[in-house]
Structure 1
């Protein structure tokens, strides 16, 4: 029996349509696989709207199972289905391209407004596909497909709840109408986009300003209008946070708005005037300028120059206010400057190759904010594998916000530092030790970059009396109305696991305690009270490099808490930390140096650490470590050098050779090396070593073309050399020091001028003395 030609044509067309449908579904499966792989390879911090991206990847994973069934059961002949598959394929690829082109320095608000429409498009196509497949699966009674579709639909509901762009749009509409955004929308924007600290708001302001400049240069008028609206929204967010007392005062003392930096909202510890005549805190405006922005944040005038001129009037007023309120400005200044370290000191930058092989965890858990605002819920900085979620992924941790949340709470100001530093009547930071120089304090006031110690990077108030500013302190699995006692039990189990006979169990326990202590004030207290410090110290002698690294990093995080710091010190931490400095991975050595710095804040431990073998180990790290290690070592050595007897030990350990070498580098350590050398130049061994290692020509060069801080310290060192040795004085003159010193005496900072004038006066006295002898 022959089949008619029309029937044959119809069969072929049906077969062709089936093949097209299968090809569309297969293309979509491949795009989904690429998207899931991309998200799984990114850390939380390197994703725009990380929660949405990760949730979307989970939903697409379920959809992939659905589509596999579609192909195996040959359900793809439905024309509407493969059209939706083609549409979703385009949307998924657009989303993947967006993630690939995104970087953390971009504006979070702008990114949300661009990302959410892509998510909405994906959700719409997903909904359509699920409904079509549901009907097709029902017709063939395929229960596995129905289950997968059900999971997909459930995941879609969670995605719909996370649309932050709706709150942003609502706020912008209210702003246009003149009513102003409501508190609910502002709070959601702040929490979802993690704009809960001054530093995050500063970064967002810089990012949006860059977007505005790009739009202006491209003559994109509509985009420029939109960005200007977003900039206004950021200003409203900052005003709202201050109005709602989002940033607490210092020790209960409210900071007047006129003493806050207009950019960062921090108390201006180092107020400076820019070319437009506006006053900002040095650290904040420097960050603005370093980002390539040459306009005044307030007036939007182009800055004719980038010189930052100290505002002594405002500084004197702030000092007076601190004095009236019994606030120790020296301690605040040193700790805040330390807390402004490079925020890029993150796990990714600090992970050692040895640990990377065995773990995807990011490893730079150090102090992110001593003086912070309310905490926001953080996410684990690890690559989550969607196919194999670990039990730990069901936990969330409260994260304290970044370094400068307008002095939200400062319960934690180490008393030792209060004793070491004080304010003189001339508003100059000095040391109580009779032989200590201004440089010892000025180091703490300098802008410590990158990995320099973290003594303030994660802690908000709390600590000494257990008060926590955090609104979320969950250690326990994310379940409704869960109780903190289960978190305590979990920590006690981890502490017990530290003493297991199995290395793998010990490593996982140390790693999780490290993460728990990383961003949560309350966790640190509980971990310390549960007896974790002793077992962690024991693990510093472990032969397992990963165990040792996790343990030392956990101790570093725990030491933010003052009580923990004391327990770590009293637990005999110095020798184990020296062992890590000698035998650990590069990251373990860095964190060991950082922990020694943290302990050296306790006054009595400056001497104990100096008397141990720590100085030599730190000097070795200064000479042979990574750049991060060198910075950590320099920071620890500087703090130790405040104790006079340690200066000779540091010189004898060979530090001067490495420090002089750093003066000639472009690694960003010139100022730090000069500050430590300034301390060491107050003893004869230090001066001799500086001259012997060829430091004089480099110091003269810094006086001529170094940074403000570098010039001050270089002039101070040269003054010490010349005052104590005619030979060194001759060498300084031979290097042509007079012209740059004359320039510095006229245009430098008050301290630099003073040092330069003293040097020039000394040169004149030397010359007059020589002339007098010649005449006689």
Structure 2
């Protein structure tokens, strides 16, 4: 407790005393300490969701602050060979090759687990499912019926990493926990005075390493900031306020690929903080981030740069500044061509965010993105990439020059095909929005071509009842346009009716 009191008072603990405690706990390396931090974070989430024992919650927050301090200050070396920078084991991809997908699902809910935990029986369940089981008065393992010696839940981080990797590789939306414990809004505050004191001292320690450290120490400091700010709002606020941002920006020009990647990943996390955005822009960070986007030493760094631009673009002034940078939009479009799924996705959402500013419309069109996105629609099997591409195209189609660019590539049949076959309600909504814009801006020629596609009308009608509210309204508008066109041209033999006359309905 003396060390926790020191942290609360802002007094740096004695390193010798800390090492004695860590040795007693069997924590001898960075990865072991990091594992304890993750475990404590999981326990804090559980206690926070229960909301019953504030004293215990405060103690857990203090212990997590202490362990985070130890991880950064006491251990000089991160075992990168066994710890990927994203927190997942490096051999996960290999393990996925022989895994049974059912092993990734909770035996209770039969759904993909979001927060797998292991019982004393050795069996793993999703946290929310097993907690519900316990609250029903059960004290046994659901799978075996064995009476449990303890109801302690041990986070299965390896399996969690495998599930996230499997979802990413197969285009499945990343599963998030349904419980309150996954809501990082709880991290707005440190949770305890000791936890707050530990973070403030850590900020000073890490800035010193960024400024005066060796190349290895700078890299580790950037990596620690990356880890600390990944899911904690308080940590982001504390590190922004302490002045880490300008030093991280300077490291974007580092010739060491790991240092550059860790720095841009840390800035990505800080860009999610409102003041973090301002500090990045005030310190001329946009040009440096675009530099990494275009010439990053690792594809991961370019990927993080695209994501950082996306968060910065949530501010209208930044959307203007990013658009005015001659390398930004072309750099994002170039990244869409990369085979890496995360690169494509980050670039697509950043482009979509920039289109909110009207002046960026012509810049995106001039970048040649339309044929690129249409090819992606034809070739990609990933639902998320298709939806993101449709979102951009639908926005571009709202203006006449965007409509012209899309029609010149013969996209009508492709869009109708996606509308018919897609299983995504959002994707269908963007399809309908785009088709309506093409009808309005493309005139009678587009309408005449759509009327000749027999399968279109059935899909439009299905949107009236099955689609989103927005899709339903736009589908209704298209149906009205097609009906009016047919009625005005019913005497023309060149027009094939989309529905028998008696099946027409009034949609307004």
Tell whether the structures are fold-level matches, with TM greater than 0.5: yes
Q: How does 1:443-454 map to 2 (within 5 A)?
A: none
1:752 to 471, 492, 497: 471
Distance across 2 between alignment mates of 1:222 and 1:459: 30
Give the drift of 1:540: 1.1
What's 1:533 paired with?
245
- Tell me how far apart the structure 2 counterparts of residues 740 and 657 of structure 1 sit (CA, whole Å): 25
SS of the aligned residue for 2:382 comes to: coil
Tell me if 1:460 matches 2:460. no
SS in structure 2 at match of 1:643: coil
Cα distance in 1 for partners of 2:256, 2:361 equals 35
Mapping of residues 370-385 of structure 1, within 5 Å: none
What is the CA-CA distance between 1:505 and the residue it aligns to? 2.5
2:95 maps to which residue? none
Which residues of structure 2 form unaligned runs of 5+? 1-30, 43-97, 107-112, 154-161, 494-508
| Aligned partner of 1:566 among 255, 271, 278 | 278
Q: Is the 8 A contact 1:671 1:709 kept in 2?
A: yes
For the residues of structure 1 that align with 2:280 and 2:165, how far apart are their CA atoms? Answer: 23
Distance 1:405 1:735 in 2: 46
Contact conserved, 1:540 with 1:577, CA < 8 A, in 2?
yes
Q: Is the 8 A contact 2:336 2:345 kept in 1?
A: yes
Alpha-carbon distance, 1:566 to partner: 1.8
Cα deviations across residues 304-363 of structure 1 (Å, max 9, x unaligned)?
A: xxxxxxxxxxxxxxxxxxxxxxxxxxxxxxxxxxxxxx99379x989xxxxxxxxxxxxx
For the residue of structure 1 that corresponds to 2:122, the secondary structure is helix
| Structure 2 residue 485 is matched with structure 1 residue 766 | yes
Counterparts in 2 of 1:609 and 1:494: CA distance versus 1, 3 Å = same
Instruction: Measure, in 1, the Cα distance between the counterparts of 2:40 and 2:285.
Output: 40
Residues 545, 509 of structure 1: alpha-carbon distance in 2 compared, 3 angstrom cutoff: same
Counterpart in 2 of 1:690?
406
Q: Say yes or no: does 1:605 pair with 2:318.
A: yes
> In the alignment, which of 605, 626, 633 is matched to residue 340 of structure 2?
626
Gaps of 5+ in 1: 1-39, 52-99, 117-192, 213-220, 238-341, 351-367, 370-401, 409-456, 463-467, 476-482
Kindly state the Cα deviation for residue 742 of structure 1 after the two structures are TM-superposed: 3.5
Q: 1:757 to 1:606 in 2, by over 3 A?
A: same
Q: Which residue of 2 aligns with 1:730?
A: 448
Specify the alignment match of 2:434 in structure 1.
717
Displacement of 1:701 in angstroms is 1.2
Q: Deviation digits for residues 373-416 of structure 1, max 9, x if unmatched?
A: xxxxxxxxxxxxxxxxxxxxxxxxxxxxx77655x9xxxxxxxx
Distance in structure 2 (CA, Å) of the matches to 1:343 and 1:607? 39
Asked if residue 113 in structure 1 is aligned to residue 120 in structure 2, the reply is yes
Q: CA deviation at 1:712?
A: 1.6
Aligned residues of 1:600 and 1:606 also touching (Cα < 8 A):
yes
Task: Kindly report which structure 2 residues correspond to 1:329-478, keeping only aligned pairs within 5 A, or say none.
Answer: 344=164, 406=180, 459-460=184-185, 468-471=188-191
Deviation at 1:461, TM superposition (A): 5.6
Note the C-alpha offset of 1:577. 0.9
> In 2 relative to 1, CA 583–704 (structure 1 residues): closer, same or farther, beyond 3 Å?
same
Give the Cα separation in 1 of the matches to 2:142 and 2:163.
30
Deviations, residues 20-59 of structure 1 (Å, cap 9, x unaligned): xxxxxxxxxxxxxxxxxxxx89x959x99999xxxxxxxx
Picking from 606, 620, 636, the partner of 2:350 is 636
Indicate the residue corresponding to 2:306 in structure 1: 593
- The alpha-carbon distance between structure 1 residues 646 and 201, as it changes in their structure 2 partners (threshold 3 A), is farther
Aligned to 1:678: 394
Provide the rounded CA distance (Å) in 2 between the counterparts of 1:588 and 1:641.
Answer: 23
Return the offset for 1:104. 6.8
Per the alignment, do residues 514 and 742 of structure 1 end up closer, same or farther by CA in structure 2, a change over 3 Å counting? closer
Shift of the 474–733 alpha-carbon distance from structure 1 to 2, 3 Å rule, reads: farther
Alpha-carbon distance in structure 1 between the residues aligned to 2:254 and 2:479 = 57
Report the structure number with the largest CA radius of gyration: 1
Secondary structure of the residue that 2:164 maps to in structure 1? Answer: coil
Structure-2 residue corresponding to 1:652? 366
| Cα distance between partner residues in 1 of 2:41 and 2:278 | 37
Contact 1:619–1:655 under 8 Å retained in 2: yes
Question: Are the equivalent residues in 2 in contact too, given 1:473–1:522 (CA < 8 A)?
Answer: no
Quote the residue 2:416 is aligned against.
700
Structure 1 Cα separation of the partners of residues 221 and 315 of structure 2? 28
Normalised by the length of structure 2, the TM-score is 0.62
Instruction: Return the alpha-carbon distance in structure 1 between the equivalents of residues 366 and 333 of structure 2.
Output: 10
Query: Pairwise mapping of residues 157-196 of structure 1 onto structure 2 (< 5 A)?
Result: none
Question: Are the equivalent residues in 1 in contact too, given 2:399–2:441 (CA < 8 A)?
Answer: no
> 1:588-620 CA deviation, whole Å, 9 max, x = no partner?
112111111111112211111111131111111
Q: CA RMSD in A?
A: 4.6
Change (3 A) 1:222 1:677: closer
Decide whether the 8 Å contact of 1:622 with 1:629 is kept in 2. yes
Tell me the secondary structure at the aligned position of residue 519 of structure 1. Answer: coil
The alpha-carbon deviation at position 548 of structure 1 amounts to: 0.7
